[in-house]
């Protein structure tokens, strides 16, 4: 039941991401909260969410460009952490790497969506009459299907590849420390991305660090 | 009321996005609805023309719809201002919503989510969408009221400064989040603090030089190897 | 990256320009070269309002720009010159030097245009003009600074239908 809900949610993510609403139901951190609550592993999903969100914060959909599918990354990684019996760091790393790799073909499906939309538009244009509502409905439907099919397929493929190549190293390492180190690295990217006077920005960041340290 | 209706229709206007006319189809759909609300029935030819290339920020498109209808009613230059404002609002929207509001919403949600995932989820959606929906649902009426001079509204609220303020706030909250995450990590000690410092500095040095996903892959392998060697 | 950037973009100043160039390189001087914008105070105000605080903008006509541009003024800081069309770029081709990075960012699809990339659509006449500029200077298609640029080399092939 939970998996069926997750698959439907994949469709909603795909629609929200580019086709309609833009209510941010497709942000990795939101996906990780939703899937964490759905599958009951909120902490692990949270750490996955912050890593993929960091990618999306820097790789943004400015103008006509298509950013990498950070939403798929968070979706697949959260699902796999639930489906797979991971308790060793090498397994986590393998999952992360496979999901990152799979993000590229899933991003390609966004190009397919745009080509599909273009074909529909050009066909009507050539006939001399355009029905905008029909085109929008078809675009939304295709986008929903894209999410349901490709997010699920991508996650399933990663699962199968993982079973094929996962290692047998049996070291119990700290998943949270691993995620923390990765996220701290990505924070460096985000800090450079934020726009404000350089020294002022870093001073405020340091102030935040100190405040967090003292208060929390 | 008209503004709310146009705001609702604008939720779907990007569905036919493509590289040929970008959001042109959606704009034609939106403008037909908006004009109808003002008692104008647009000719098929006019709607067809509106499907030409058009691209702007989705949250600010209703301002353009308002300007367009006003100019059309006054026999003005609706298509000229449509093009001008599509670029300007693209710049405004990308700078504020994509560049600055998303990081701040994320960091607030992440801090809240550490206490309770429901709280984190609500924090992101409420904080982000309160800005998003206000602009989306008030855009048409403001655009219609001010017409081609709608830019005055954005100047009055100093909108081009908002990204800077939000980015500074994000930097502060990122500091708090990192402190909290580090302190709550069971293995935290001075060595981990030193390593984390090196990590953030490395990230800063590589940003703008190395693609973020490639950087992430490299750092994951190195971190895994490092933790494996040190047995942390 | 060279300090002087000439960008052809028919949307002039929009999200990609602000985020992909101005903020990325911390550019604090923009020159918008367009006869129509230079003669319309409202348009001038619209485009200048979108810039981040601290960024200066000069809006010039093509003739004013040709008369006032000196590449040796920009050794230390970046300057971004925005032009609306390949025709405008062609008109100022004589002031392009080796210090200038020429890129075509976004030229929208219109009737009778050929798709050069997914954001650049040019007609045969414009392609010929780019080829002529290309004989002396490199010309790139470059959406945002952190994405790979594509150097335009064999544009003639497009006209011959080989691409």
Residue B21 CB neighbours (<10 A):
26
- The residue with greater pLDDT, B223 or B187, is B223
Which chains would you list as touching B if contact means 3+ CB atom pairs under 8 Å? A, C
Q: Residue B31 contacts by C-beta under 8 Å, 6 or more apart in sequence? A: B42, B47, B50, B65, B68, B69
Query: Using one digit for the tens of pLDDT, what is the confidence trace for B4-13?
Result: 999 999 999 9
Contact B57 C50 (CB under 8 A): no
Level-2 CATH architecture, domain C4-106+129-153: 3-Layer(aba) Sandwich (3.40)
Q: What is the mean pLDDT of residues B139-159?
A: 97
- Asked if the C-beta of C118 comes within 8 angstroms of chain B's C-beta atoms, the answer is yes
pLDDT at A50: 95
- Asked if the C-beta of B25 comes within 8 angstroms of chain A's C-beta atoms, the answer is yes
Cβ contacts (< 8 Å) between A65 and chain C: which residues?
16, 143-144, 147
pLDDT at B188: 78
Contact C49 B19 (CB under 8 A): no
pLDDT at B214: 93
Q: pTM for the full model?
A: 0.94
- Nearest chain B alpha carbon to A100: B213
Mean of pLDDT over chain B: 94
Contact B90 C12 (CB under 8 A): no
The ipTM, to two decimals, is: 0.94
pLDDT greater than 70 at residue A89: no
pLDDT at C147: 85
pLDDT at A107: 95
Cβ contacts (< 8 Å) between C46 and chain B: which residues?
84-85, 88, 151
**Three-class secondary structure assignment of chain C:** CCCEEEEEECCCCCHHHHHHHHCCCCCCEEEEECHHHHCCHHHHHHHHHCCCCCCEEEEECHHHHHHHCCHHHCCCCCEEEEECCHHHHHHCHHHCCCCEEEEEEEECCCCCCEECCCCEEECHHHHHHHHHHHCCCCEEECCCCCCCCEECCCHHHHHCCCC
- Asked if the C-beta of C109 comes within 8 angstroms of chain B's C-beta atoms, the answer is yes
Contact B219 A136 (CB under 8 A): no
pLDDT at B192: 87
pLDDT greater than 50 at residue C163: no
Cβ contacts (< 8 Å) between A60 and chain C: which residues?
19
Exposed/middle/buried for residue B48 (C-beta within 10 Å: 0-12, 13-18, 19+): middle
Q: How far apart are CA B94 and CA B86, in angstroms?
A: 12
Contact A195 B207 (CB under 8 A): no
pLDDT greater than 70 at residue A87: no
Residue B57 CB neighbours (<10 A):
27
Query: Using one digit for the tens of pLDDT, what is the confidence trace for C84-123?
Result: 999 999 999 999 999 999 999 999 877 777 888 888 889 8
* Spatial contact of B21 and B52, defined as CB atoms under 8 Å apart: yes
Contact B223 A181 (CB under 8 A): yes
| SS3 state of residue B22 | strand
C-alpha distance from C72 to closest chain B C-alpha (Å)? 27
- Nearest chain A alpha carbon to B100: A194
Query: Using one digit for the tens of pLDDT, what is the confidence trace for B62-115?
Result: 999 999 999 999 999 999 999 999 999 999 999 999 999 999 999 999 999 999
- Asked if the C-beta of B214 comes within 8 angstroms of chain A's C-beta atoms, the answer is no
C-alpha distance from C131 to closest chain B C-alpha (Å)? 24
Q: Residue A36 contacts by C-beta under 8 Å, 6 or more apart in sequence? A: A42, A43, A44, A45, A46, A49, A78, B117
Which segment, B204-213, B222-231, C118-127, is predicted with the most confidence on average?
B204-213
- Nearest chain C alpha carbon to B100: C19
Domain ranges of chain B: 2-184, 185-232
pLDDT greater than 60 at residue C161: no
Cβ contacts (< 8 Å) between B225 and chain A: which residues?
none
Nearest to C51 among B55, B86, B160 (CB): B160
C-alpha distance from C24 to closest chain B C-alpha (Å)? 8
C-alpha distance from B11 to closest chain A C-alpha (Å)? 5
Contact A64 C119 (CB under 8 A): yes
Nearest to B167 among A24, A143, A196 (CB): A196
Instruction: Please state which of the ranges A6-10, A164-168, A186-190 shows the lowest mean pLDDT.
Output: A164-168
Q: What is the mean pLDDT of residues C53-76?
A: 90
Contact B113 A33 (CB under 8 A): yes
**Chain C interface mutation, best of A62, A110, A190, A200, highest count of C Cβ atoms under 10 Å:** A62
Handedness of CA B201, B204, B205, B211 (dihedral sign): positive
Looking at residue B18, the DSSP 8-state letter turns out to be: B
Q: How far apart are CA A108 and CA A101, in angstroms?
A: 12
pLDDT at A204: 94
Nearest to A109 by CA among A71, A52, A57: A71
Query: Using one digit for the tens of pLDDT, what is the confidence trace for C123-138?
Result: 889 998 998 998 899 9
Nearest to B181 among A118, A139, A180 (CB): A180
pLDDT greater than 90 at residue C5: yes
């Amino acid at each position: 039941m939970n998996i069926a809900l997750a698959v439907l949610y994949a469709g909603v993510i795909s629609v929200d991401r580019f086709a309609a609403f833009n209510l941010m139901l497709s942000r990795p951190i939101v996906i990780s909260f939703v899937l964490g609550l759905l599958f009951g592993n909120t902490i692990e999903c949270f750490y996955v969410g912050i890593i993929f969100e960091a990618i999306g914060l820097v790789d943004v959909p400015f103008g006509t460009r298509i950013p990498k599918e950070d939403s798929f990354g968070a979706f697949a990684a959260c699902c796999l952490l639930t489906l797979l019996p991971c308790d060793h760091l090498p397994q986590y790393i393998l999952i992360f790497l496979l999901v990152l790799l799979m993000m590229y073909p899933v991003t390609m499906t966004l190009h397919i969506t745009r080509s599909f939309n273009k074909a529909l538009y050009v066909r009507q244009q050539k006939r001399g009459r355009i029905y905008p509502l029909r085109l929008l409905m078809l675009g939304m439907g295709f986008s929903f299907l894209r999410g349901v099919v490709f997010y699920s397929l991508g996650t399933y493929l990663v699962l199968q590849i993982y079973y094929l190549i996962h290692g047998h190293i049996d070291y119990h390492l700290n998943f949270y420390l691993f995620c923390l180190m990765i996220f701290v690295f990505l924070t460096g990217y985000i800090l450079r991305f934020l726009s404000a006077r350089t020294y002022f920005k870093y001073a405020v960041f340091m102030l935040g660090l100190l405040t967090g340290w003292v208060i929390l | 009321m008209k503004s709310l209706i146009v705001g609702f229709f604008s939720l779907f206007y990007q569905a036919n996005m493509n590289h040929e006319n970008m959001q042109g189809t959606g704009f034609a759909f939106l403008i037909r609805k908006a004009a109808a609300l003002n008692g104008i029935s647009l000719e098929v030819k006019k709607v067809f023309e509106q499907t030409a290339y058009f691209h702007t920020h989705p949250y600010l498109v209703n301002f353009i719809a308002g300007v367009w209808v006003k100019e059309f009613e006054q026999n003005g230059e609706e298509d000229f201002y449509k093009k001008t404002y599509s670029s300007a609002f693209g710049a405004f929207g990308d700078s504020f919503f994509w560049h600055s509001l998303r990081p701040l919403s994320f960091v607030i949600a992440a801090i809240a989510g550490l206490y309770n995932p429901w709280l984190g989820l609500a924090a992101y959606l409420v904080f982000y969408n309160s800005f998003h929906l206000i602009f989306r649902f008030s855009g048409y009426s403001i655009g219609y009221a001010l017409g081609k001079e709608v830019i005055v509204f954005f100047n009055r609220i100093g909108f081009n400064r908002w990204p800077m303020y939000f980015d500074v706030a994000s930097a502060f909250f990122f500091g708090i989040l990192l402190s909290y995450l580090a302190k709550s990590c069971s293995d935290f000690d001075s060595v981990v603090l030193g390593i984390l410092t090196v990590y953030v500095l490395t990230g800063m040095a590589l940003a703008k030089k190395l693609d973020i996903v490639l950087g992430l892959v490299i750092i994951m392998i190195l971190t895994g190897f490092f933790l494996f060697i040190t047995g942390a | 990256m060279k300090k002087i950037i000439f960008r052809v973009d028919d949307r002039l100043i929009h999200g990609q320009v602000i985020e992909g160039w101005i903020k990325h390189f911390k550019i604090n001087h923009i020159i918008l070269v367009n006869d129509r914008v230079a003669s319309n105070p409202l348009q001038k105000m619209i485009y200048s309002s979108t810039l981040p605080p601290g960024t200066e903008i000069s809006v010039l006509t093509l003739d004013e720009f040709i008369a006032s541009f000196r590449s040796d003024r920009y050794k230390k800081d970046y300057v971004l010159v925005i032009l609306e069309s390949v025709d405008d770029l062609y008109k100022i081709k004589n002031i392009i030097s080796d210090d200038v990075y020429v890129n075509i960012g976004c030229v929208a699809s219109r009737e009778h245009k050929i798709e050069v990339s997914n954001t650049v659509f040019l007609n045969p006449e414009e392609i010929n003009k780019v080829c002529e500029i290309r004989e002396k200077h490199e010309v790139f298609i470059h959406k945002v600074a952190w994405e790979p640029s594509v150097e335009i080399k064999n544009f003639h092939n497009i006209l011959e239908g080989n691409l």
